[in-house]
Amino acid sequence: MFRTLRGFFSSDLAIDLGTANTLIYVRGKGIVLNEPSVVAIRQEFGARNSRSVLAVGAEAKRMLGRTPGSIQAIRPMKDGVIADFTVTGEMLKHFIRKVHEKRLFQPSPRIVICVPCGSTQVERRAIRESAMGAGAREVYLIEEPMAAAIGADLPIADPTGSMVLDIGGGTSEVGVISLGGIVYSHSLRIAGDKMDEAIINYVRRKYGLLVGEATAEKVKKDIGTAWDDSEVRQMEIKGRHIADGVPRSMVINSKEVHVALQESLTGIVSAIKAALEQTPPELAADIADKGLVVTGGGALLRDLDRMLREATGLPIVVTEDPLTCVVRGCGRALEETETLSEVFVHE
Amino acid sequence: METETPHKKSSSGFGPGLALAKARASLGLTHEEVAERLRLAPRQVQALEADDYGHLPGPTYVRGYLRSYAEMVGLASGPIIEAYSHVPTPNRTANLDSIAPKEEVTSQHRHVRLATYALVAIIIALAASWWQGRSRHRVAATAVRKHATVPAAPAASEPVPPQAEPVPQRSAPVSQRSAPVSQRAGSHAASSMSPTVAPAPVPGHSAQPVPVRVRPAAALSKTTAAPTRTVVTGSTSAAVAPGAAGGRALLVLTTTQDCWVDVRDAQGNKLLYETVPAGRVVTLDGNTPLKVFLGNAAGVQVEFDGKPFNQTPYIRGQVARFILGATGGH
C-alpha cells in the first residue's frame, strides 16, 4: 500500500542495465542518466567491519585499477547479467535516487529493464529482484533486441522482417523481428569487453606491455577499426612492462588494433550468418532488401558497417546515437505500455 | 517492405538526392556500381537520388542508406541527414498500434468499475434504509413496552378506575380509560372511527396516573353510531359499548403471553398495532372483516362476536394470520 502511495511521487523509469553503462529514461522527460556501471565499495575493517558504497558511476569508474586495498571498484554486471547481486541493487538504488533528487519521499517507480535474450530464468529473476530491492513498485522486462528495434524505430509491427544487431558491453544480440514478436534471437558473449580484453592480450603478447582496461577501451574508441583498409591512425599508450617491471609507453596503430579485434569481429559475423540461416526465407528476403540495423556502443567502432557489409552482403544501417538506442526503446515501451504490453517478457 | 505510396519526385532540390547524384557523377560511378558497393538494389539508389522515399523502407533505413552513400562518395553525412530531415515524409515514426492487444472488458475497465461502484452504493443504501427502519421499529416497540409496564402498578392500586370516574356526572359520556398500551391503538381507532370527537381536559387529570380520555356528551352523541372501543388492563372485565350493527363486530383478545398484535378493520385502519403484554384483555370493535395478525398465536385467546375463536388452524410457526367476519366464513 505504501509503495502504491509512494508511486504517486515517483516517475516511471526505463533502464538499460548494461555491462558497461547504465542509462535511465524517465517517463515524459527522456534520457536523464548515462553513467558507467561501476561501484566503488569501501571495506572497513576492525570493529565496524562493514562495507559501504563510496562512489557510483563515472566517479567510481575513475577509480578502476587505481584503488587501495580498502576500496574495491566493482563492475557488478558481467556478460549482460548480474555478477554481484547486492552491489547491483545498491547501484540501482543510487541511480533511482539520483533521478528523483528533489523528491521528499523514497521513490517507488514502475521500471522497465532490458535483459539479454539469452539470459536464463535465474538471471532474469535476479535482475527483477534487484530492481524490486532498489524500491521499484513494478518491474517489466524486455529483451534487448526488441528494445533495440523499438528504439531504432523499426517497423516491428508490420508483417516484414527486421534484423537488428546490438553490440553492447557484455553481450551482442542478434534478433529477427516480425509482427511484434521475436522470430529468432541469439545472444553471444562477444562485445565491447571482449574487444578490450583482446587489445590487452595483443599488447601484452606483442610488446610485453601490461595495460589496463581503461587504456584498452580508449584505444578501441580512438583508433580501433573493423576494416583492414581504413585510414591508419595511431596513439601512445602507457603500461607496465612485464619483463622490466617498470612503466613504459609505446605507440600502437589502428592496423594492429584491427588484428587484435579480428577474432571478436569474426565471432559477431558468424552469429549474423547463423541468424540468417535460421531465419525463414520470406523474412530473409525482407532483410536482404532492407538490411541489418546495428545499434549499441559497438556500432561506433570505425568502419564496422563497411566490414559487416562485405562479410554478410547485406545493406548495413547504423542507427543514430546507437548508445542510447536500447534505452530509447525501453522508454517507448514505458510510454506506450498499453500498446506495447505484448513485447514484455512474461515469465 | 516497400510501401505502395505514389512516387514523390523532388525536383526542388530540398532533399539530399541531388547532392548525392552530383557527387556520384563527379566520381564517374553508375547507379549499379554504387548499389554494388552499398549492397543495395539499383532502384533504391535511384530512389535515394530522386528523393523518392515512398519506395524505400522506413526513415531509419533511409537515414542509414544516405549516411553510407554520403561517406562512400566523400560527402559529410551530417548535412545530408539534415537535408533529409527537412523533406516532408509521412509516417516518420513506426506505427506500433497494430500489435496492441485487443481491449478486453476486465474488472479494471472504467465502465465495469462505475457499474460496480453504483451497485455497491445501491446495496449500502438498501442496507441503511433497512437498518433505519428496523431500529425505528425497535424504538417504538421499546417505548410501547415502557408505557405498558409503568401504569400496571397504579392500575392495580386503583382498582376501579372506570367506575371511580363520575361517568354519570358528565351527562352520560362514555368514559374511556385507556392505558397507554392501547392509547396508540386507540388514537388510530379514534382517528378512523370518530374523527369528530375531540379530547377534552378532565378535571383532576393530573392526579390520574393513567391518562384518561373523556369525550363530551355532545360529541359522543354524534358518534353513537361510531365504534367505540375499550381496553381494560389487568383482569378487570371490559365495559363494552353496545355492539355495532351492520358489519360491526367485537373482538376480545386475552393474552397469556406477550404477543405482537396487528388488527385492521375493513378500511385498513389499525385498530391495534403493538405488543400486548401477558395477562391483558383487549377488546376491539370495528368494521368487519377484521384482519388479525398474531405474533405469538399460542399466547392469545381470541373471542369474536362473543364466541371463542380457534386460531390454531392458522398458526404457521409462531404466528397466525386470519380474517374474521368475512363473508362466507372467516
Q: What is the pLDDT of residues A306-323, one digit of tens each?
A: 999 999 999 999 999 999
Determine, for residues A343 and B94 on separate chains, whether the beta-carbon distance falls below 8 Å: no
Q: What is the pTM of this model?
A: 0.65
DSSP, collapsed to helix, strand or coil, labels residue B264 as: strand
Query: DSSP label at A80?
Result: T
User: Between B1, B67, B96, which is nearest A157 by CB?
Assistant: B96
Q: Rounded distance, CA A218 to CA A39, Å?
A: 20
Q: Read off the C-alpha cell for B207.
A: 392526579
Determine, for residues B57 and A158 on separate chains, whether the beta-carbon distance falls below 8 Å: no
Burial A264-285 (b: 16+ CB within 10 A, else e): bbeebbebbeebbeebeeebbe
Selected residue of B72, B96, B102 to mutate for chain A interface (largest A Cβ count, 10 A): B96
Please tell me the predicted confidence (pLDDT) of residue B211.
Answer: 41
Residues of A in contact with B57 (CB under 8 A): 155, 289-290
Asked if B42 reaches chain A (Cβ–Cβ under 8 Å), the answer is: no
Measured over all CA atoms, what is the biggest interatomic distance in chain B, rounded to whole angstroms? Answer: 144
Residues of A in contact with B61 (CB under 8 A): 290-291, 293, 315, 317
Q: Read off the C-alpha cell for B68.
A: 553510407
Determine, for residues B60 and A152 on separate chains, whether the beta-carbon distance falls below 8 Å: yes
Q: What is the pLDDT of residues A88-137, one digit of tens each?
A: 999 999 998 888 876 667 778 899 999 999 889 999 999 999 999 888 88
Determine, for residues A317 and B65 on separate chains, whether the beta-carbon distance falls below 8 Å: yes
| CA A21 vs CA A55, A136, A170, B221: distances in Å | 15, 20, 10, 109
Residues of B in contact with A315 (CB under 8 A): 38-40, 61, 64-65, 68
Angle formed by the axes of helices A213-223 and A192-207, to 10°? 100
Q: Which chain A residue has its CA at the smallest distance from B39's CA?
A: A315
Q: What is the CA radius of gyration of chain A?
A: 21
- The tens-digit pLDDT sequence of chain A (347 residues) is 555 566 666 789 999 999 999 999 999 899 999 999 999 999 877 666 788 899 999 999 998 888 898 898 999 998 888 999 989 999 999 998 888 876 667 778 899 999 999 889 999 999 999 999 888 889 999 999 999 999 999 999 889 999 999 999 999 999 999 998 999 999 999 999 999 999 999 999 999 999 998 899 999 999 999 999 899 999 999 999 999 999 999 999 999 999 999 999 999 999 999 999 999 999 999 999 999 999 999 999 999 999 999 999 999 999 999 999 999 999 999 998 878 888 888 76
Residues of B in contact with A289 (CB under 8 A): 1, 41, 57
User: Between B40, B93, B101, which is nearest A342 by CB?
Assistant: B101
Please tell me the predicted confidence (pLDDT) of residue B123.
Answer: 96
Q: What is the DSSP string of B75-142?
A: --HHHHHHHHHTS--S--S---GGGSPPP---TTSHHHHHHHHHHHHHHHHHHHHHHHHHHHHHHHHH
Query: Residues 81..120 of B with a Cβ closer than 8 Å to A: which?
Result: 81, 93-101
Classify residue B195 by burial, with Cβ atoms within 10 Å: 0-12, 13-18, 19+. exposed
Selected residue of A182, A227, A276, A290 to mutate for chain B interface (largest B Cβ count, 10 A): A290
User: Between A154, A315, A320, which is nearest B65 by CB?
Assistant: A315
Please tell me the predicted confidence (pLDDT) of residue B246.
Answer: 52
Amino acid (1-letter code) at residue B158:
E
Asked if B327 reaches chain A (Cβ–Cβ under 8 Å), the answer is: no
Sign of CA pseudo-dihedral B56, B60, B63, B67 = negative
Give the helix/strand (H/E) hosting B9.
Answer: none
Determine, for residues A291 and B60 on separate chains, whether the beta-carbon distance falls below 8 Å: no
Residues of A in contact with B64 (CB under 8 A): 291, 293, 315-319
What parts of chain B have a pLDDT lower than 50?
1-12, 150-245, 328-330
CA distance A118 to chain B (A): 24
CA distance B59 to chain A (A): 8
DSSP, collapsed to helix, strand or coil, labels residue B304 as: strand
CA distance B44 to chain A (A): 9
For chain A, the residues whose C-beta falls within 8 A of a C-beta of chain B are 150, 152-158, 160, 179-180, 286, 289-291, 293, 305, 309, 313-320, 336, 338-343
CA dihedral A105, A22, A149, A29 (to 10 degrees): 40
Please tell me the predicted confidence (pLDDT) of residue A8.
Answer: 62
- Location of C-alpha cell 530473409: A284
Asked if B307 reaches chain A (Cβ–Cβ under 8 Å), the answer is: no
- Location of C-alpha cell 544516405: B66
Residues of B in contact with A291 (CB under 8 A): 39-40, 61, 64-65
User: Between B38, B58, B101, which is nearest A155 by CB?
Assistant: B58
Asked if B67 reaches chain A (Cβ–Cβ under 8 Å), the answer is: yes
Q: What is the DSSP string of B180-243?
A: HHHHHHHHHHHHHH-TT---B--TTTTT-SS-EEE--HHHHHHTSSS----EE-TTPPP-PPPP
Q: Rounded distance, CA A139 to CA A149, Å?
A: 20
- Location of C-alpha cell 528523393: B51
Beta carbon pairs, A and B, within 8 Å: 89
Can you give the length of chain B in residues? 330
- Location of C-alpha cell 353496545: B242
Q: Are strands A13-17 and A110-115 parallel, antiparallel or unpaired?
A: parallel
Q: Rounded distance, CA A305 to CA A254, Å?
A: 17
Residues of A in contact with B97 (CB under 8 A): 157, 339
Q: Read off the C-alpha cell for A289.
A: 532488401
Is residue A14 within 8 Å of residue A49, measured between CB atoms? Answer: no
User: Between B58, B97, B99, which is nearest A154 by CB?
Assistant: B58
User: Between A150, A153, A305, which is nearest B58 by CB?
Assistant: A153
